[in-house]
Amino acid sequence: MDSRRRPDELSPADGALDFVRFCHRRKRVGWPELYDEMCHVASRGLYHGWGFAELAEHGIAFGLAEMPRLAGLVAEVANHEAERRPRLVVGVMAPEASHADGVEVPEEALRAGVFMGAAR
């Protein structure tokens, strides 16, 4: 979905996903905690001024019968948001073979990854 579109240009399905995405970005929690946030946002019209009636026009309903669909939208958005987050890459640097803080390190220890460095 193109987030640059105006709210009145959103299809009902896009509006529903965008609403859930908006709530999820406000409070990064999963189901059922996000349900409380969605109710909070709807009751105050924080998403494009939409209240419960406008959200219902876009496929967001908060009744018991609609819970499975709403939970599915939350799962879809949470999975998509998790895929978009940058991954943390961790690297480990080994000390030089000839010295580490003035301590000779056997090559076998470096290859095995058992050398932790000298205590300070």
* Number of domains within the chain: 1
Determine, yes or no, domain membership for 96.
no
- pLDDT tens digit sequence for 9-60: 555 568 899 999 999 999 988 888 999 999 999 999 999 999 999 999 998 9
Q: Where are the alpha helices (DSSP H) in 51-94?
A: 52-57, 67-84
Determine, yes or no, domain membership for 1.
no
Residues 6+ apart with CB under 8 A from 19: 38, 41, 47, 50, 55, 58, 60
Domain that holds residue 54: 7-84
C-alpha 71/C-alpha 57 separation (Å) is: 18
Query: In degrees, to the nearest 5, what angle opens at C-alpha 89 toward C-alphas 84 and 91?
Result: 175
Determine, yes or no, domain membership for 45.
yes
Determine, yes or no, domain membership for 70.
yes
- The mean of the pLDDT values for the chain is 77
Determine, yes or no, domain membership for 108.
no
Tell me what the mean pLDDT of segment 73-80 comes to: 88
Determine, yes or no, domain membership for 54.
yes
Calculate the alpha carbon distances from 3 to 7, 60, 74, 88, 118 in Å.
9, 18, 18, 26, 53
